[in-house]
């Protein structure tokens, strides 16, 4: 099994619905995202997935969040904009673009600050 990772980031505002405390107020983060990908086989030039493709497909999803008020972006207009939910959303959406039977997203980790992160994997 091969594992690859890329790191990226986005900036976005949000507030947590139903939370009692400062995070219920509008605020923003510079979110850091780590994408973990696994592959069972390498291609004919010994690459699992081209990093260029992985970055490009990831950025297609990140662009939906970057510099937006997340509470107005689907599906976060209905579910809370927690790091947990953001990591699951990225897992599913990036997976739709790159999972192919050999390569698959295996985990997404999202940091809302230098010291606080949430991950999603199956």
What's the pLDDT score for residue 43? 96
Q: What is the mean pLDDT of the chain?
A: 97
User: What pLDDT score was predicted for residue 115?
Assistant: 95
Q: Measure the CA–CA gap between 29 and 80, rounded to whole angstroms.
A: 15
Range of the domain at 46: 2-120
Q: CA-CA distance, 105 to 91, in Å (whole number)? A: 7
- Domains identified in the chain, total number: 1
Position 10 scores a pLDDT of 98
Kindly report the length of the chain.
122
Q: What is the CATH number of the domain that holds 104?
A: 3.30.479.10
For the stretch 61-103, pLDDT in tens is: 999 999 999 999 999 999 999 999 999 999 999 999 999 999 9
Residues with active-site annotation: 23, 67, 112
Nearest to 92 by CA among 11, 24, 79: 79
């Amino acid at each position: 099994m091969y594992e690859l990772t890329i790191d990226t980031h986005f900036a976005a505002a949000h507030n947590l619905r139903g939370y009692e405390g400062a995070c219920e107020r509008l605020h923003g983060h510079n979110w850091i995202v780590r994408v973990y990908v696994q592959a069972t086989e390498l291609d004919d030039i010994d690459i699992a997935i081209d990093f260029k493709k992985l970055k490009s497909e990831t950025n297609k999803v990140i662009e939906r969040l970057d510099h937006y008020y997340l509470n107005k972006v689907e599906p976060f207009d209905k579910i809370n904009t927690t790091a947990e939910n953001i990591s699951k959303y990225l897992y599913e959406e990036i997976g739709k673009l790159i999972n192919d039977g050999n390569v698959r997203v295996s985990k997404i980790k999202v940091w809302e600050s230098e010291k606080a992160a949430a991950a999603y994997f199956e």
